[in-house]
Amino acid sequence: MNNTKYWNRYWQSAYMCFDETLFTLEDNRSIALKAKFILENSLSGVFIDYTYSVHDSCYPPINKYFYINFNKKHNSQTTVEEKPEHSASTIILMACILMVLILLLLYTSRMNRKQDINVNILISLTSMIESEENYETELEFESTEKKHLIPKDRLKFMEVIATGCFSVVHRAEYIERHNERRREVAVKCGNNEMQNKILLEELTIILALRSHINIAKIFGADYSETNVLLVFEYYPNGNLLHFLRTHTFFDAVLQTTNNEDSNNTSTCESMLSFADLTSFSRQLCEGMHYISQNKIVHRDLAARNVLLDENLIVKICDFGLSKQVDCNGRYVEKTNVILPIKWMAIEAIEDGIFSEKSDVWSFGVVLWEIFTLGNEPYNDSVVFTKLLTALKNECKLEKPVYCTDNMYSIMLKSWNIQAHSRPTFGSLRDDLLEETNTTKHYTNTMGLKRVNVV
């Protein structure tokens, strides 16, 4: 006799890290629990398969990933109670009515949510523009009900200049309504509901931060049923990572030119001095100090998310993953989200805990990117799946070639395993200011004229 019919499974509960638990009947003696759960101690979205065989004499244990309860029940004598013929049609009719009501409720809720979003954008942008004189003078908004929103038909889209997990960025021209003046801007676009939601959250964070010289400036926004647009100031030097990779440290240039004329214009244009790298670091720290003072964690701080204007002023951008912290200065991630593991602190990878101190860790990694001229962290030294173990064993990124002992000590302090032992951005700002003052002689001794790259 086939014992399969003796199994009557009751799926009471199944909990797992960020994904569903599936189980199937394999044969008459065992059930295999097939599950996908997130890689231990990682919030990266890397998944692995797990199979657990259960015989009829035992039950699966409860563990940190999931638990599932089911009962074995002998059903060989079970009979089915006959029901009136009309019961099935009644149930179907009631189900249809319920479905229509649910759909109606969802539609109404969605329309109300869209209306609330538009109102919130209007209120936020109104507050932003009325409180910041530079926004009033630099951009003229149309005087209609949406006078503080930038209408899409006033934007002339050009090439794509960046793509990411949550948006696409276009270079564009904004044609001002009253004087037809054209302004070069960068437009961040969302094309689906998830991307739109992230962009609206980013807008909320940026408006909460107001204006700062080291944070990318937003001019306005537009919202429709299909997409969200955030309009930013355009920065011709692009992101810091690309800028570093297309330039050379002047010591390396001098060694390879065999004492040729180092004042050659083309050579100077592609060179970066130690003072330049220190300046990038100090400006970045200033911006992050301002962000932390406003009770916000960036969570995606990396050289690719830092822009440079025509005067090489650092502009922190990409606040799509940023969150406001609680009264304890922390934000705890409880959902599945793509995060940059190589830039993350141990407590963020392991427990999803983000704070100013986790941003400080990321800042240390960006310093390393700066002084290696754009190398990728842990590229060859550590296997990605073993990164957390390596970090717990105090595996550190090596000292960059173009880095002083003092600057490397700042990096090492940022990578302290204990979050409470890491410095604050205020403390790091003081250290970097001192380092800036002690490195002025680097440029003076070389006698090189700094040429900005456009």
**Are 362 and 376 found together in one domain?**
yes
* pLDDT interval class at 120 (50, 70, 90): low
Instruction: Name the pLDDT band for 6 (thresholds 50, 70, 90).
Output: very low
pTM of the full structure: 0.66
| Residues assigned a catalytic role | 300
Residues 63-114: pLDDT tens digits?
333 322 333 333 333 333 444 445 677 888 888 888 888 888 877 766 655 5
Q: How far apart are alpha carbons 32 and 50 in whole angstroms?
A: 10
Residue 302 belongs to a domain: yes
CA dist 343 and 43 (Å) reads 12
412 lies in the same domain as 278 = yes
340 in a domain, yes or no? yes
280 and 377 belong to one structural domain: yes
Q: What is the mean pLDDT of residues 211-219?
A: 94
Same domain, 247 and 221: no
Number of domains in the chain: 3
Distance of CA 389 to the CA centre of its chain: 23
C-alpha distance across the termini of the chain, in Å: 81
Quick one: 218 and 323 in the same domain?
Answer: no
7 falls within a domain: no
Q: Are residues 208 and 243 in the same domain?
A: no
Assess if residue 452 is contained within a domain: no
CB 190 within 8 A of CB 228: yes
Residue 229's domain is classified under what CATH number? 3.30.200.20
Find the angle CA(189)-CA(194)-CA(196) to the nearest 5 degrees: 35
Q: Across all residues in the chain, what is the average pLDDT?
A: 73
Residue 263 domain flag: no
Gap between the Cα atoms of 149 and 121, Å rounded: 8
The pLDDT assigned to 112 comes to: 59
Fill in the amino acid letter for 343.
W
pLDDT at 231: 94
In a shared domain, residues 228 and 248: no
Q: Please say if the pLDDT value at position 171 is more than 70.
A: yes
243 and 227 share a domain?
Answer: no
Specify the CATH number for the domain of residue 429. Answer: 1.10.510.10
Domain membership of residue 206 as a residue range: 144-233
Answer yes or no: do 319 and 212 share one domain: no
* Candidate ranges 95-109, 156-170, 264-278; pick with highest mean pLDDT: 156-170
Q: What's the confidence (pLDDT) of residue 239? A: 96
Q: Are residues 246 and 347 in the same domain?
A: yes
Where b means 16+ CB within 10 Å and e means fewer, 29-39 reads eebebebebbb
**C-beta separation of 163 from 169 below 8 A:** yes
* Residue 233 · residue 185 · CB < 8 Å: yes
Q: Are 274 and 282 in contact (CB under 8 A)?
A: no
* 92 falls within a domain: no
Say whether both 390 and 294 belong to one domain. yes
Report the C-alpha dihedral over residues 115, 116, 118, 120, rounded to 10 degrees.
170
